[in-house]
Amino acid sequence: MIDPDRIPRHVAIIMDGNGRWAKARGLHNLSGHRAGVKTARAILEAAKKLGIKILTLYTFSTENWKRPKKEVESLFKLLESSLAKEVYKLDENDIRFNVIGDIAALPKNLKKKLEDAMARTKNNASFILNLALNYGGRQEIVEAVRGIAREALSGVISPDDIDENIFSEHLYTKGIPDPDLLIRTSGEKRVSNFLLWQISYSEIYITEKYWPDFTENDLVKAVVNYQKRERRFGA
């Protein structure tokens, strides 16, 4: 079913529906998030097996701080414990772990574990796993503008030299190619402030399945659907 010569290099996923998955089963929201972690692990393995080189997972947005305090705290603890278990596997499988977003506002223990995981895997080259944490697309663009403005004021660059390449170099995703394919689970038809600059020409695939129910077969379907499309980039 899959053309090995047309595998999307970079796949980004909005992992939506953990809470609704849990509610439908009469479970606490945290059970949905735990199930979501298992799915993330399985999809990472499946993506690597398919030949995808970069996987970006929308894990915690700047808007997610509006959720109940206990849920946010539980999410961070779950992420911290999961990372402690997974970092060794990531390193053994030559996977570079990366975080995009403002991690300065995250709990100190979690921030330290994230930084340690990035340092441990920084030389791995066969695959990149990006977690978008405390991430917002508008926030990212504003931060990029601030950085460019500071450089222009200090004379490092001229305003006339600012182009798309310079702007991209000031984003969290510096050095990473834009996503070829954006997948959203749970059937919602919006991008939710995710990679607003980077997905300008990404193919979008939406599935009704909640994230915990998303499987390797669903990823294959998304890739097959992607390969049926003609990417003209405005031509």
The residues assigned a catalytic role are 16, 64
- The total of other beta-carbon atoms located within 10 Å of residue 57's CB is 19
Q: Which of 7, 37, 2 is nearest to 22 (CA)?
A: 37
Q: How far is CA 42 from CA 66, 86, 216, 217, in A?
A: 29, 12, 7, 11
Sign of CA dihedral 31, 35, 38, 39: negative
Contact 14, 207 (CB under 8 A): no
Q: For residues 184 and 205, give the distance between their C-alpha atoms in angstroms, rounded to a whole number.
A: 6
Collect all residues with Cβ–Cβ distance below 8 Å to 25 and sequence separation of at least 6: 31
